[in-house]
Every structure is written in structure tokens, then in C-alpha cells.
Amino acid sequence: MSAPGKSRSVPEVADAADVAAASRRGRGRRDDRRPRDEEGGEELIEKLVHINRVSKTVKGGKRFGFAALVVVGDGKGRAGFGHGKAREVPEAISKATAAAKKAMIRVPLRDGRTLHHDGRGVFGAGNVTLRSAPAGTGIIAGGPMRAVFESLGVADVVTKSVGTSNPYNMIRATFEALGEQTSPKSVAQRRGKKVSHILGRRRSALAADVEALA
């Protein structure tokens, strides 16, 4: 037994069963969790994308902890991601969620369901391609990218990821592509044109593509 007034030393090696149980508890928050944002008073969707056991070498041995990657969104065109590390899974998720809320960005959506145009994002070895899709297509994406679009509120999108399966690089590359999304309204304001003129050119380009394929 430890002497009074002294803290008990942390075991150097965590039990495998405890690690697995803690990971399962963390993953249990992955889907359909809508905590209320205290500042904005709105409901946010949290997606636990990845959780990893990490270790830090210190004097006397190693200290084990957990690293969590979380995506947060309001389902209406705003989303962000965050990373957090702590000794316990719930605390790591809380840190990652707080970081994700601070890093949320707004992405313009067409009809509130898909992207306005195709995009490409690169981060490290991550290389992702995003394409807008007609209604009824659904979210054609896997792993970390699906969590981003579900929290963002996108209902129809086609994606492709090449180069890496690292969830951190995939998430960052996806947000790089989303950050380049623009709407016809913003393009019209930047070029001093009318929105109808921008949309008219888009329809003409689509018609030309259809004729070329026929």
C-alpha cells in the first residue's frame, strides 16, 4: 500500500482488456450524437473518426494515453475537425470536440444537399477528389470522409481518396478541398456579374458535355 499523502504510481503497462473496453466506450459516441452548443445554442453532430492508443516515454518508464480525432458539424453547411490526447478516452474525445468547434468552417451547398462544383484536396500523402452529384445518389465515401459529409449536411456526393489511408491526412485533405468551394453568388459578386449569367454559362457547359458524349 502507498504511504499517506503520496499519490499512487501509474502502471507502466495498461491491461489490454481495459484498453479495448475504453476504446469501445469511445466508439459508442460515433453516430447520432447531437450535443447542444452552449455558445450558439444550436445542436451539433459529433463523429468520432479515429481513436488511437499512444505512449510517452518519461523517466522511469512509459505513460500510456489515447488520441482522438473528432469531426463536428451542424448539418447545415458548417463543420470542423479536432484532435485531442488524454489519459482517458472520454477526456481525449472532449478535448478533440472542443478543438473541432473552434475550427469550424462554412461550406456553401447547392440546394442544401450537395456541393456546387468538383474539388480536389491534397495534404501530405492524402489526395482526395470531391464531385457534386444529383439527388438520390447518397454519400459515396468511406471511412473518415463519410463522417465529414454526414456532419456537414451533404446528402449527395461522390468522393475518391488515393495515396493514404491515414485518417488524419484524409480529413485534412478533405477540408482543404471543402475550403475551396464557392457559390455562384460569391463568384458573381467577385466578377461583377449577375447570378443568372453565371448559372447560364454553367448550363451551357453541361449541355455541351452531354452532346459530346451522345
Residue 81: the pLDDT is 95
SS3 92: helix
Residue 26: the pLDDT is 46
Q: Is the pTM of this model over 0.75?
A: no
**Strand 126-132 relative to strand 109-110, pairing:** unpaired
CA distances (Å), origin 58, targets 9, 61, 86, 159, 188: 13, 6, 15, 42, 57
Give me the mean pLDDT over the 155-170 stretch.
Answer: 92
Residue 142: the pLDDT is 83
Give me the mean pLDDT over the 85-90 stretch.
Answer: 93
Tens digits of residue pLDDT in 94-136: 999 999 999 999 999 988 889 988 999 999 899 999 999 989 9
Phi, psi of 87 (to 5 degrees): -75, -25
CA distances (Å), origin 9, targets 2, 13, 59, 63, 153: 9, 12, 13, 11, 46
Residue 211: the pLDDT is 55
Give me the mean pLDDT over the 198-210 stretch.
Answer: 57
Whole-number Å distance between alpha carbons of 156 and 145: 13
Tens digits of residue pLDDT in 6-17: 444 434 434 444
